[in-house]
A and B are shown apart, each in its own frame.
Chain A
């Protein structure tokens, strides 16, 4: 079926640590892939996206590369900040439908 799986949280890191949040997907064809971020009390906001194999999406120091061979779209950041504390959702789009992963809560401690 069509689904998105991402690593279980919560993830707790110290400021300036390296972040990886794994995401894998199943889908027919080549869906567009996204990472969204949700800050407390708000809706989801687009963080970055990639629309074809080997594309790298990047924004605010976050990066993710569309890996067709491993059906993955892992989120990385080299040095996290306290302000990055939020819930992160991996998602894929096929046609009109978006499928979201369960979300990974990140807490960054000063």
Chain B
């Protein structure tokens, strides 16, 4: 019953360090997403991947890169972390749009950049 699994759950980085958030889903979904959640801002889409081999920018892509490694895995990389990237990051996945297929979220990764 894993669903969407993301790691790490907590991370503290120094400004300028790099890191990769890992995400995997076991529901055979085509689409995967990375969101960030900040107080008062709701959820904002960073990048998404509609299918294996494709990625597209969302609302706030600057400072991030993504890799759709295979159908199951979608990673988010911060090349040079900045304090403005302190946030809670959520990976999500969904099946194709058919009769209201929903989106499933991981439990979140709390990132602090100091």
**A residues apposed to B, CB below 8 Å:** 32, 34, 41-46, 49-51, 89, 91, 93-98, 100-103
Contacts and interface: CB of A to CB of B under 8 A. Distances in A.
Contacts, number: 57
A22 B50 CA distance: 30
A42 B108 contact: yes
B53 interface: no
Interface residues of B, number: 25
A49 B97 contact: no
Interface string B73-96: 000000000000000001010101
A49 B100 contact: yes
Interface string B26-64: 000001010000001111010010100000000000000
A102 B97 CA distance: 23
A42 B107 CA distance: 5
Contact of B31 (A42, A89, A91, A96): A96
A3 to B, nearest CB: 11
